DNA sequence: ATGCAGGCGCGCA
DNA sequence: TGCGCGCCTGCA
């Protein structure tokens, strides 16, 4: 049965900015320019109308609570943008460009596997691979005469062999994902412990032990799932944009970029990263 | 066709 | 500790 939640007078909410800024892989644009996506066991359609956002879909629990958490609706993005815009004109400019960005609160397990798959990969292919995994191992949910598939739990994914992953197109990431599933099942990787770890340095150290998780992937997981707004993932685009804007286009090392970001943007560096990334990647 | 895409893991100094 | 290199795959 379909549920509905209407957010009145939203601020800082733009579907394109949110779903196309590179943080998520399972939201797709519909013919009518709304977006439909799936998180946990929820299939949600997001529709923007004048002065309101309409969330509708099939939800295990209360759709309002699910959306408030997932879309970070209790966070004051106007305040965040004000603070960041004062830092420098480049950031202010990119914030104007991606004013409706929000950092989604995505499930740790899905984020972990998705970003292991993202390594040395491109977004269309990442999305295709994830859809294949979900269709093969997730649970089916019907919504408006279409079938959607949940992201498989560790138990569900444990049915896949390395060869199965290879057939789904993971390439050399097959062993990494397989190993991660196994280690999660035997509790060598403890998802709950990771969720509860407050210290970002310890958290990163733990994430780096996971096969297929290097510095960049670990940062993405911390920002996109564990709400660590201070971490600043450095991918090729961020490296490019920071080098161009602040280092006279001289390509800097990731380490230099991170040190710079911490100094320049402080505790909200991760948010700054999203605005800069979205702005720069959209230029091409 | 060859290079490249939101890196990682390995081997070597 | 820090570097260089190879890697599945699909697409331009």
Closest-lying nucleotide for A255 based on CA to C1': C2
Span A47-63, pLDDT tens digits: 999 999 999 999 999 99
Q: Which residues contact A160 (CB under 8 A, 6 or more apart)?
A: A133, A136, A137, A168, A178, A181
| Distance, CA of A14 to C1' of C11, in Å | 29
What topology is assigned to A3-75 in CATH? TATA-Binding Protein (3.30.310)
Q: Residue A250: which pLDDT band, with cuts at 50, 70 and 90?
A: confident
- Output residues with Cβ under 7 Å from nucleic strand C: A 120-122, 124-125, 166, 169-173, 253
Active site residues of A: 216
pLDDT at A37 over 90: yes
Nearest to A53 by CA among A40, A66, A67, A65: A67
Query: Where does chain A hold its CATH 1.10.1670.10 domain(s)?
Result: 76-95+229-284
* Tokens matching residue A236: 């090729």
Nucleotide with smallest C1' distance to residue A25 CA: B6
Question: Is the per-residue pLDDT at A225 higher than 80?
Answer: yes
Q: What is the dihedral of CA A127, A270, A61, A1, to 10 degrees?
A: -40
CATH 1.10.10.10 at A76-95+229-284, yes or no: no
Domain with CATH 1.10.340.30 in chain A: 108-224
Strand C nucleotides, any atom under 7 Å to a protein CB:
3, 7-11
pLDDT band for A236, please (50, 70, 90 cuts).
confident
Nucleic strand B near CB of residue A121 (< 7 Å)? yes
A135-181 tens-digit pLDDT: 999 999 999 999 999 999 999 999 999 999 999 999 999 999 999 99
Instruction: Please state, in angstroms and rounded to a whole number, the distance separating the CA atoms of residues A219 and A275.
Output: 16
Nearest nucleotide by C1' position to the A219 CA atom:
B6
Q: For domain A108-224, which architecture applies?
A: Orthogonal Bundle (1.10)
The residues of chain A that CATH labels 3.30.310.260 are 3-75
């Amino acid at each position: 049965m379909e549920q509905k939640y209407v957010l009145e007078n939203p601020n800082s909410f733009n579907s394109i900015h949110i779903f196309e800024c590179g943080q998520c892989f399972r939201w797709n644009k519909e013919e009518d320019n709304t977006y439909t996506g799936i998180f946990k066991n929820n299939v949600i359609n997001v529709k923007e109308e004048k002065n309101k956002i309409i969330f509708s879909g099939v939800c295990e629990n209360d759709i309002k609570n699910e959306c408030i958490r997932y879309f970070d609706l209790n966070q004051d993005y106007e305040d965040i943008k004000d603070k960041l815009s004062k830092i420098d004109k480049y950031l202010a400019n990119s914030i104007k460009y991606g004013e409706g960005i929000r950092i989604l609160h995505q499930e740790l397990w899905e984020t972990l596997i998705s970003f292991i798959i993202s390594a040395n990969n491109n977004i269309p292919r990442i999305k295709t691979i994830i859809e294949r995994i979900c269709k093969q191992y997730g649970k089916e949910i019907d919504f408006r005469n279409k079938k959607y598939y949940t992201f498989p739990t560790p138990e569900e994914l444990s049915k896949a062999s390395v060869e199965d992953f290879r057939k789904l197109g993971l390439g050399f990431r097959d062993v990494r994902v397989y190993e991660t599933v196994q280690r999660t099942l035997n509790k060598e990787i403890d998802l709950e412990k990771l969720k509860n770890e407050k210290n970002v340095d310890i958290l990163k150290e733990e994430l780096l032990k996971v096969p297929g998780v290097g510095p960049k992937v670990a940062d993405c997981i911390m920002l996109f799932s564990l709400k660590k707004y201070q971490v600043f993932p450095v991918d090729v685009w961020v490296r490019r944009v920071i080098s161009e804007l602040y280092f006279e286009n001289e390509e800097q090392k990731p380490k230099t970029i991170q040190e710079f970001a911490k100094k320049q943007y402080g505790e909200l560096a991760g948010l700054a990263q999203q605005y800069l990334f979205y702005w720069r990647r959209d230029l091409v």
